[in-house]
Amino acid sequence: MRKACFMVATTAAITILSCGGEVKVKDVKITPVDGKEVAEAMSKEVEKSTDRWQERRAKGDTLAMPYKELQAYLPEIAGYTKKGGPKGNQVNMPGMGSWSQAEQRYENGDKRIEVKIVDYNASYAAFSGITALYKMGFSSEDDSKKQGSVDLGMKNVAAYETVYKQDPKAQIVLIVADRYFVEIESRGSNEMGPITDIAKGIAASGLASK
């Protein structure tokens, strides 16, 4: 049976887990700041995302893209071959709405890249608080990794990257048009350049304008 579990812990980790789809945001930490300022900043980001959703609603755009259509935004990656076909699913949860997900794994020798795209248009209220955290500009660094927001120079795109210091892996997360959650993770390399370019390509493929 598919189930969806949501956990937000701003002082520890943020995890979105759709069992059956496995949408995860892992190991995100917020640097110590005043709680009131965090609440106010989050509130502003949620208001912005709500305004964008209201604009889409006025146009009749209230549903998540079918996962088969979302798979069309999964990229080709130079030098990598796809490991199997694309996966995807549609989740409907009473009280939380629905969302769709598409994902693809890629291989190049001992290197791996995994790309996930989630359209949460029909459940923006459930996701907006979580995604707002990524747009607040927080950062964190310890002996194992360095995390923080990064400006990709793209309209309607917020990005957050994680570089691991002791393990050969890296991750970038995008919030696109307050509607799409894009996660790209590499294993076998902790270079940010390649996955950042992939992320830009996905955002530029038309998602940011929706």
Measured CA to CA, the distance from residue 209 to residue 206 in angstroms comes to: 6
Q: Report CA dihedral (31, 33, 36, 42) to the nearest 10 degrees.
A: -30
Q: Given pLDDT bands bounded at 50, 70 and 90, which one contains residue 17?
A: very low
Domain ranges of the chain: 34-209
Kindly write down the DSSP assignment for every residue of 23-45, as one continuous string: ----S-------HHHHHHHHHHH
pLDDT greater than 90 at residue 112: yes
Q: Is the pLDDT of residue 22 over 90?
A: no
Q: Which of the pair, 13 or 142, is modelled with greater confidence?
A: 142
Six-digit token string for 32: 């110590």
Query: The whole model's pTM is what?
Result: 0.74
Residue 118: CB partners within 8 Å, gap ≥ 6? Answer: 23, 99, 100, 101, 180, 181, 182
What CA–CA distance (Å, rounded) separates 82 from 56?
Answer: 34
- Strand 81-82, strand 14-19: pairing: unpaired
